Amino acid sequence: MKNLLYAQSGGVTAVINASAAAVIEAARASGQVGHVLAARHGLVGVLDEALLDTSMLSADDLARLARTPGGAFGSCRFDLPEPEDDAAPYDRLFQVLAAHEVGYLLYNGGNGSMHTVAQIAGEAARRGVPLVTVGVPKTVDNDIEGTDCCPGFGSAGKYVATAMLEAGMDLRAMASRVGRVFVMEVMGRNAGWLAAATALARRGGDDPPHIVLMPEVPIDRARLLAEVERTVARIGYCAIAVSEGISWEGGERVMEQHVDAKGYVQLGGAGQTIARLLSAELGYKHHWAIPDYLQRAAGHLVSATDFEQAHAVGSAAVEYALAGRDAMMPAIRRVSDAPYRWDIVPVPAAEVGNRERLVPAHFIRDDGLHVTPAAIDWLRPLVAGELPVHFDGGVPDWRQFELPRLASRLAG
């Protein structure tokens, strides 16, 4: 029996390890896989022959692994060249896989990783290498094409919506003779999905967030200022969610740029820039928050739906691999909105690789400053459901797993 190699790629999520655990469980249960190996730090680890043996993980360990945020085996940001430009990494890759008798490669990542899946599968086929390569989708950015949503997004969305809800209650409490604004910058360089998800904090018309700025819509500065002023005039404060990658009309990215005392060019982020602009132009007090890693690592606030989907794509990927469905990615298909139902369908990695799924126009309010009710309806089920969290000493009891590295079978 051939071995299966699982590797993680790109930014990790609060549920990426649920996919990892599902892969290991499904491979073991199949009886058709030798060992399940994991790459240390993704494809970089494969090329370094830094492979881990998952055999020592018990069923209980796997249940714990599934609920551990971060990438248990490590991830990387690494793009393969096209094989016609540079064949060497492929030579090395296939040598490592052959040396460790790997017949199945499962690559857990975003749209760039799906391109990598297509590259590896294509080159393996061209060379006649006996390998089945399957993609496992994952990204908090929710920007992979071909799937209704992306594992990792629901939990990050739950986090940012909860953060906006709670910060908004704090903002509301403080009296002030001048208006006050709160800006939270969330992830999303090109796609505004996480900014849109903050709108799930709203229950009534005047609840935060009052404004949602997404990269899909270049910002009309005058319109933004007017909307903030209207909101502050009405309720005294204004809470704003911004994607890190927003830009002004004309295309300039929203960031402060300046040269510090030592001559380095420094960039202020989008959230900070918007907060300071409102303070400078309108005289409001301002606060800003940047959750950064916190939004994609919050295992204590995972969406049960997201967790199930992360598990499901892991299991399905093993199924596809064993069925020889090369270069495919299990995708989530929405079967119905209410009640929310979904299933898993295969899509070719080549069709989705390196493409980017943006927030569609009908999810964005006409003035570009918020989302539509249709967006809320679409987003809501993705953040639904909670999972128990085990605490120890007041903090979540997340286990870290140190797996033994396999002995090298190749010269470095």
Task: Answer yes or no whether residue 338 interacts with a second copy by CB under 8 A.
Answer: no
Measured from the CB atom, the residue of 39 and 352 that comes closer to a second copy is: 39
How far apart are CB 170 and a second copy at their closest, in Å?
4
128 annotated ligand-binding residue: no
Which of 20, 38, 72, 96 binds a second copy (CB under 8 A)? It is: 72
Matching residue, tokens 């297509």: 118
User: Is-contact 188 194, C-beta < 8 A?
Assistant: yes
Residue 402 DSSP one-character state: -
How far apart are CB 136 and a second copy at their closest, in Å?
16
Which of 287, 325, 334, 365 binds a second copy (CB under 8 A)? It is: 287
What residues between 298 and 327 interact with a second copy by CB under 8 A?
Answer: 298-301, 303
Closest CA to 238 of 195, 272, 288, 290: 288
Task: Answer yes or no whether residue 175 interacts with a second copy by CB under 8 A.
Answer: yes
User: Is-contact 298 155, C-beta < 8 A?
Assistant: yes
Measured from the CB atom, the residue of 26 and 140 that comes closer to a second copy is: 140
H helix or E strand, kind and range, residue 183: strand 180-186
How far apart are CB 142 and a second copy at their closest, in Å?
15
Within its chain, how far is the Cα of 393 from the centroid? 29
What residues between 239 and 258 interact with a second copy by CB under 8 A?
Answer: 256, 258
Residue 24 DSSP one-character state: H
Catalytic annotation present for 206: no
User: Is-contact 16 151, C-beta < 8 A?
Assistant: yes
CA torsion sign, 25 to 26 to 29 to 31?
Answer: negative
Residues contacting 204, CB < 8 A, separation 6+: none
- Rounded Cα distance between 369 and 380, Å, is 19
Q: At what angle do helices 88-99 and 111-127 cross, to 10 degrees?
A: 80
Taking CA 31 as the corner, what is the angle to CA 30 and CA 34, rounded to the nearest 5 degrees? 115
109, amino acid identity: G
What residues between 359 and 388 interact with a second copy by CB under 8 A?
Answer: 380, 382-386
Which of 163, 232, 328, 371 binds a second copy (CB under 8 A)? It is: 163
Which of 15, 36, 45, 106 binds a second copy (CB under 8 A)? It is: 45
Which of 262, 283, 324, 407 binds a second copy (CB under 8 A)? It is: 262
User: Is-contact 278 286, C-beta < 8 A?
Assistant: yes
What residues between 73 and 112 interact with a second copy by CB under 8 A?
Answer: 74-77
Cis peptide before 339 (omega within 30 of 0): yes
What residues between 383 and 402 interact with a second copy by CB under 8 A?
Answer: 383-386, 389, 391, 393-396, 398, 400
Using the rule CB under 8 A, give the single segment among 40-48, 114-122, 240-248, 365-373 that binds a second copy: 40-48
> With contacts defined by CB under 8 A, how many residues of the chain interact with a second copy?
76
257 annotated ligand-binding residue: no
Which tokens go with 32? 């058709």
3-class DSSP assignment, residue 201:
helix
Task: Answer yes or no whether residue 260 interacts with a second copy by CB under 8 A.
Answer: yes
Catalytic one of 141, 143, 306, 326: 141
Binding mask 201-240 for a second copy (x = CB under 8 A): x---------------------------------------
Measured from the CB atom, the residue of 291 and 330 that comes closer to a second copy is: 291
Q: How many CB atoms lie within 10 A of CB 316?
A: 26
Which of 92, 189, 253, 276 binds a second copy (CB under 8 A)? It is: 276
1 annotated ligand-binding residue: no
What residues between 7 and 26 interact with a second copy by CB under 8 A?
Answer: 8, 11-12, 14
User: Is-contact 287 275, C-beta < 8 A?
Assistant: yes
Where in the sequence numbering do the catalytic residues fall? 141
As annotated, the binding site includes: 11, 111, 139-141, 187-189, 244, 293-296
Residues annotated within the binding site for Mg(2+) are: 111
